[in-house]
Amino acid sequence: MDYRKIIDEIYREVKPMFGNGKVANYIPALAKVDPKQYGIAVVTVDGQLIGAGDYQKKFSIQSISKVFTLAMVMRHMGSDLWRYVGREPSGSPFNSLVQLEHEHGIPRNPFINAGALVVTDKLMSLYDRPKESILRFVRDVADSEDIYFDNEVARSEQEHASRNLALGYFMKSFGNIENNVDSLIDVYCNQCSITMTCEELARSFMFLANHGINPYRHDRILSISRSKRLNALMLTCGFYDESGDFAFRVGMPGKSGVGGGVVAIIPGRLSIAVWSPELDKHGNSFMGIETLERFTTDIGISIF
């Protein structure tokens, strides 16, 4: 398949679409990002890299970090994890407390904020130095040492963390958070602040396209079964309350972040990361989703 030609064409067609969404403005550090940026990177299991546009510029991965922390916890915890967080789509916005109350503090899935906080809470109990461990993990799977927390973004998130503090304390009131809530929010704000390029991001998801094995270090991150399951979770829950629509239109497991990044995989084939900061009303990158929908149509391959 000539991915280069397909990517170039999509890039040319989608690039004029600036102006259809809005940059995340819930924290100042994200709001000041230049909206007119757009990059694509495809990495294939046979080692190709196809990049276009701003694919080597760093951006804040935000919620995409939830996939890394979940993989880190799934490595070390068995099905016991699923007593603390569910595996069902939420049907609600990413930061809702309603469902949490009806379901006694057990979040619907690991990709809504409440569920990601539970995962990070478990990670803090499993790893001695959680922030360093997260950075180590991401660098390993992305095969790049040039990955850092963005301290300004992390600080800005902490200054606007009322909703996440509410989620943390609410779950703690149900006994579903083990660690100190302030420390939890600190780790969480840092994981969200990680900056990567499209190229790094596409590489970092290759272990999920590669049945659990990191192709750069040749070590197993997750068993085949857990790797498949994490992919299933991304398909059903990876795009907030637009997950069903994304599965319908794109048909690839993936994850988005409010920094404008989107990453998705086709198991056994490839990983693709797109970045463009303007978000649709569900908080997903407008041009990112547009790019993926065209990509899956043009290559004629989806998991369905």
Amino acid at 106: I
Instruction: Determine if 22 is a binding residue for a copy of itself (CB under 8 A).
Output: no
- Total residues interacting with a copy of itself, rule: CB under 8 A: 52
Residue from 98, 104, 152, 180 touching a copy of itself (CB under 8 A): that is 98
Instruction: Determine if 162 is a binding residue for a copy of itself (CB under 8 A).
Output: yes
Instruction: Determine if 290 is a binding residue for a copy of itself (CB under 8 A).
Output: no
Which residues does 5 contact at the CB level (< 8 Å), separation at least 6?
none
Region binding a copy of itself by CB under 8 A among candidate stretches 118-126, 144-152, 230-238, 271-279: 230-238
The residue (of 40 and 233) whose beta carbon lies closer to a copy of itself is: 233
Instruction: Determine if 140 is a binding residue for a copy of itself (CB under 8 A).
Output: no
Residue from 249, 280, 298, 299 touching a copy of itself (CB under 8 A): that is 249
66 tagged catalytic: yes
Instruction: Determine if 86 is a binding residue for a copy of itself (CB under 8 A).
Output: yes
Instruction: Determine if 256 is a binding residue for a copy of itself (CB under 8 A).
Output: no
Residue from 81, 166, 213, 299 touching a copy of itself (CB under 8 A): that is 166
148 tagged catalytic: no
Out of 240, 255, 274, 276, the active site residue is 240
* Active-site amino acid positions: 63, 66, 188, 240, 258
Residues within the interface to a copy of itself (CB under 8 A) = 86-92, 96-102, 108-109, 162-163, 165-170, 172-173, 181, 225, 227-229, 231-233, 235-237, 241-245, 247-249, 251, 253, 267, 297, 302-304
